[in-house]
Amino acid sequence: MQQEIEIEFKNMLTPDEFFRLSNELSLREQSFATQTNHYFDTPDFLLKQHLGALRIREKQGSFVLTLKQPHPEGLLETHQNLSETEYKAFMNGEKFVEGQIYSILSGLGIEPQNVHYLGTLTTKRAETETAGGILVLDENQYLSITDYELEYEAKERKQGEADFHRFLQEKGIPERKTLNKIQRFFEAKSSEL
């Protein structure tokens, strides 16, 4: 089990902006790695009501269960590695793996056995390091949607925010209110129902 505070800034991109930035940052097709996020919540969306999110990220044959919760500096992420057997059991709704995340959910009054699979979002991601953090370009596919996103993972909130706004300004990209991936997934899922 590992915990970290995620400080990140996001901005949706048009396809043209995405491909222009890819070229300007010298991020070619081989720079992009694929990762798959499987999202979970209870039938009455108790995690969402607690402003939390639960996912399993599948990347290069590894599986990591992550619980995201609000934190004054950003998001508190609790990570727990899963074996392939645990991953398959979780995906099939057979067993919620025990550990720190199980305990946190129980402490929030959420019965882990009531958590179920909602859907999947696949991301092609490229990252490049900057002096203050990591610049990330994502192409996301979920349900029948493809969207493009710029993320900046910063080491410190105040400086990171200033760096991110300056980058957008320098690149001539307007600031857009951007929900995180799971929120966009939920909105799209809700409009399908």
Would you state the pLDDT for residue 31? 86
Nearest to 183 by CA among 33, 37, 58, 18: 37
Quote the pLDDT of residue 65: 97
Name the token pair of 1: 């089990």
pLDDT 10s digits, 38-76 = 999 999 999 999 999 999 999 999 999 999 999 988 889
The band of 177, judged by pLDDT with boundaries at 50, 70 and 90, is very high
| pLDDT tens profile 97-142 | 999 999 999 999 999 999 999 999 999 999 999 888 999 999 999 9
Average pLDDT in the chain: 93
At residue 1, the pLDDT reads 66
DSSP string, 53-78: EEEEEEETTEEEEEEEEEETTEEEEE
| Residues in contact with 179: Cβ distance below 8 Å, sequence separation at least 6, in sequence order | 187
Max alpha carbon distance in the chain (Å)?
Answer: 50
- pLDDT tens-place string over residues 79-100: 999 999 999 999 998 889 999 9
Convert the pLDDT of each residue in 157-174 to its tens digit.
999 999 999 999 999 999
Each residue's pLDDT tens digit, 140-153: 999 999 999 999 99
Among left, alpha and beta (phi > 0; psi -120 to 50; other), residue 36 is beta
Q: What is the mean pLDDT of residues 1-9?
A: 88
